[in-house]
Amino acid sequence: MIYPNIPLAQTVIELCKAKGIQHIVISPGSRNAPLTLGFSNNPYFKCYSVVDERCAAFFAMGIAQQIQKPTAVVCTSGSALLNYYPAVAEAFYSNIPFVVLSADRPKHLIGIGDGQTINQKNVFDNHILYSANLKLDLKDENNLPGNEDLPIFKNLEDRLERFLGLQKDIQSFNEEEIQVAINHSIIKQGPVHINIPFDEPLYQTVDKLSVAPKVTEFSIKQKTIESYTLQECLEDWNAATKKMVLVGVNQPNAIEKKWLDELAEDDSVIVFTETTSNLNHDSFFPSIDQMIAPLTEKEEQALQPDILVTFGGLIVSKKIKAFLRKYQPREHWHIGKKDANDTFFCLTSHLEVTPNQFFETFLPKLTHYVKSHYHSDWMKVRELRLEKHQQYLEQIPFSDFKVFNYLFKAVPNHTVLQIGNSSAIRYAQLFTLNKTLEVYCNRGTSGIDGSTSTAVGCAVANEKQTTFITGDLSFFYDSNALWNNYIPANFRIIVVNNTGGGIFRILPGHKDTENFDTYFETNHNLTAKHLCDMYGLDYAIANEETSLEYALQGFYEKSEKPKLLEVFTPKKVNDKVLLNYFEFLK
């Protein structure tokens, strides 16, 4: 087998293998050549070459999102590393394991005006679980800092002994730091950064390893709920007649069905599920905004919970945030091992266990169901909302709203749906999606910058078909995501193109002015057709109801290439249709 000649590169590669990091996304460069040579010549690793570092990082994150294990990205020195930052921040807030391996120059070449050189140490400091800054190997005795830092030894034997001692210390330090970093990513589920200095020559290889890093094992100590805390929770729960469970971003099948069934049977409990919660039950309340937006003040007061229980990741709905900040529960419990966000400014308890652990400990100890009309009353409201929703769809013109209704209904059963940020995910909150779908969206930072790349990574890692539905600005912003040789033929992209940032038209401001058109809505006349021609995707177009129905008929049929459907909608109609929707529901 071919190995890089540099012991530090060998150490990084061997420890990645030992820790089960198999997917390696490499962006081209020279300083990272030792890592590139080592990873790409080892059959254990699945290596991908992605030129644009920002896309590469989101692509790797999309893989990690699916396999729930760390993936690694490898880049050269300089600004290449900074292009990873959007994905690092997203992984940090979305709890996705992710390892950044950045090549760097030796210390003596930093700050002297060399090209492709920046201060890489701790560069992600505010959005990283751990930063490991490794030490340069001592290549030979001439590499010793003898004149400045070491005493003058009387003979070569003393000098060599000192050299070998230093190298052993450096090797031990590097092995420990690499493993501490990777262990953080595995245990705490998030991004880590390992900065790796290499001196030239960079391209030399050997056929045998010169290192044998010692692998340190780790154990995860499971936390439990203290008995007095559990007792307090039980007493408060039994005394409350209005309990609301709100579920954010959640992995599919993460919660055992028996606990969901038990929550559904309690008439004092309503469960609000976001599109990204991947929780489905006939007695739960999806389409949160559809429920919340039309409420009168009297209805809002009636909905106010005594206890709010949250689990899962970040919440999309601004309407539920505004409601719970105005009508705060007496208690807010958050269940989860990671940090508890005080989103509604009333957090009272953080139960640092998984939802399954909590429900398994908590629900069997409930002695009775509290008499309440909380759930049944709001189920009646839900039925009315669904009726009004359907009535509205039948009377509106062709628009974003109507298009999303068609799109969500057309996604095949038992497939993966990735949704772009901004308007796409907010429209998704208004519809009850197919219960067989696995739904994802980058809600950690809620940025548009890597949605397409993440969806491509997801499609590569998941055998199921992946559909990505996005808006035009998000798609064009991340168009380098298609500069990728690994996109499977069953991948589907749908771009809803309203020729600008249509979501800004529903926000307060002066519309249809030159300032608004240029700096907020950012009008454009771009189309995805030429990108599809360049990157080898089948392209289809729709611009009214009949052509959309026709395009969707064969869109998911088996093909030799990935497919993209671009749906053009009238931007000056979309905002009115959406705003009138909430009025109609009232």
The reported pLDDT for the residue numbered 325 is 98
- Asked if residue 337 is part of any domain, the answer here is yes
Do 559 and 503 fall into the same domain? yes
pLDDT computed for residue 522 by the predictor: 80
**Range in 256-265, 438-447, 505-514 the model is least confident about:** 505-514
Q: What is the pLDDT of residues 23-50, one digit of tens each?
A: 999 999 999 999 999 999 999 999 999 9
Tell me whether residue 497 is in a domain. yes
Residues in the chain: 586
Domain range spanning residue 451? Answer: 396-585
What confidence category does residue 150 fall into, taking pLDDT thresholds of 50, 70 and 90?
very low
C-alpha 234/C-alpha 365 separation (Å) is: 8
Q: Which of 58-72, 140-154, 230-244 is the least confident region?
A: 140-154
The pLDDT assigned to 166 comes to 82
Instruction: State the pLDDT at residue 505.
Output: 58
The pLDDT-based confidence of 508 (bands split at 50, 70, 90) is low
pLDDT value of residue 221: 82
CA angle 459, 465, 468 (to 5 degrees): 65
348 with 406, same domain: the answer is: no
Q: How far apart are CA 492 and CA 548, in angstroms?
A: 15
Q: Supply the mean pLDDT for the chain.
A: 92
Residue 162: per-residue pLDDT: 58
Mean pLDDT over 561-571 rounds to: 96
Residue at 170 is within a domain? yes
**Rounded Cα gap, residues 571 and 496, in angstroms:** 11
Share of the chain above pLDDT 70, in %: 92
Whether residues 411 and 290 share a domain: the answer is no
Q: What is the pLDDT of residue 500?
A: 77
Alpha-helix runs per DSSP H in 225-354: 227-239, 257-265, 288-292, 297-303, 318-326
The average pLDDT across 474-496 equals 97
- Domain contains 116: yes
Q: Is 274 in the same domain as 160?
A: no
Please tell me the total count of domains within the chain. 3
How do beta strands 3-4 and 331-335 pair? unpaired
Band the pLDDT of 142: cuts 50, 70, 90.
very low
Place of tokens 């090797």: 171
CA distances from 132 to 110, 124, 240, 451, 521 (A): 18, 11, 48, 28, 42
Same domain, 233 and 188: no
Beta bridge partners of 26: 49, 74
Report how far residue 276's alpha carbon sits from residue 429's, in angstroms, rounded to the nearest whole number: 9
Tell me, what's the pLDDT at 144? 46
Averaged pLDDT for residues 193-207: 96
Whether the pLDDT of residue 521 is over 80: the answer is no
Using pLDDT thresholds of 50, 70 and 90, give the confidence band for residue 338: confident
Of 186, 202, 218, at which residue does a domain stop?
A: 202
| Domain boundary, last residue among 143, 169, 202 | 202
Q: Residue 141's pLDDT band (boundaries 50, 70, 90)? A: very low
Per-residue CA distances from 136 to 99, 107, 143, 323 (Å): 20, 9, 10, 55
DSSP lists the bridge partners of residue 245 as 271, 309
* 303: CATH: 3.40.50.1220
As a whole number, mean pLDDT of residues 118-145 equals: 84
Strand bridging mode 3-4 / 205-206: antiparallel
Least confident of 61-75, 175-189, 297-311, 494-508: 494-508
Task: Please tell me whether residues 132 and 10 are part of one structural domain.
Answer: yes
263 inside domain: yes
Question: Binning pLDDT at 50, 70 and 90, where does residue 167 land?
Answer: confident
**85 and 134, same domain (yes or no):** yes
Based on the fold, state whether residues 233 and 372 are members of the same structural domain: yes
> Same domain for 125 and 246?
no
Report which of residues 339 and 124 the model is more confident about.
124
Do both 39 and 167 map to the same domain?
yes
pLDDT beyond 50 at 148: no
**Reduced 3-state DSSP string for 263-282:** HHHCCCEEEEECHHHCCCCC
- Among 379, 411, 441, identify where a domain stops: 379
Per-residue pLDDT at 501: 62
Predicted local confidence at residue 115, as pLDDT:
85
End-to-end CA distance of the chain: 69
Structure tokens at 472: 């035009």
Q: How far apart are CA 165 and CA 261, in angstroms?
A: 63
On whether both 412 and 325 belong to a single domain, the answer is: no
Q: In the 3-class helix/strand/coil scheme, how is 382-445 assigned residue by residue?
A: HHHHHHHHHHHHHHCCCCHHHHHHHHHHHCCCCCEEEECCCHHHHHHCCCCCCCCCEEECCCCC
Please indicate, yes or no, if residue 207 is contained in any of the structural domains.
no
The mean per-residue pLDDT over the stretch 313-337 comes to 96
Residue 218 has pLDDT above 90, yes or no: no
- Does the residue 212 lie in any domain? no
What is the C-alpha to C-alpha distance for residues 73 and 94, in angstroms, rounded to an integer? 18
For residue 139, how many other CB atoms are within 10 A of its CB? 14
- Longest CA span, the chain: 95
Q: Which residues touch 581 (CB under 8 Å, ≥6 apart)?
A: 392, 401, 430
Confidence of residue 223 (pLDDT cuts 50, 70, 90): confident
Write down the pLDDT at residue 160. 58
Residue in the structure block whose two tokens are 């308890």 = 349
- Backbone φ and ψ for 261, nearest 5 degrees, come out as -60, -40
Residues 76, 114, single domain; the answer is yes
CATH code: domain of residue 451: 3.40.50.970
Q: What is the mean pLDDT of residues 488-493?
A: 98
pLDDT of residue 155: 56
Burial 273-298 (b: 16+ CB within 10 A, else e): bbbbbbbbeebbbbbbbbbbbbbeee
**Is 221 part of any domain?**
no
> What is the distance between the alpha carbons of residues 370 and 268, in angstroms, rounded to a whole number?
6
Tokens for 524?
A: 């454009």
Give the confidence band of 547 by pLDDT, cuts at 50, 70, 90: very high
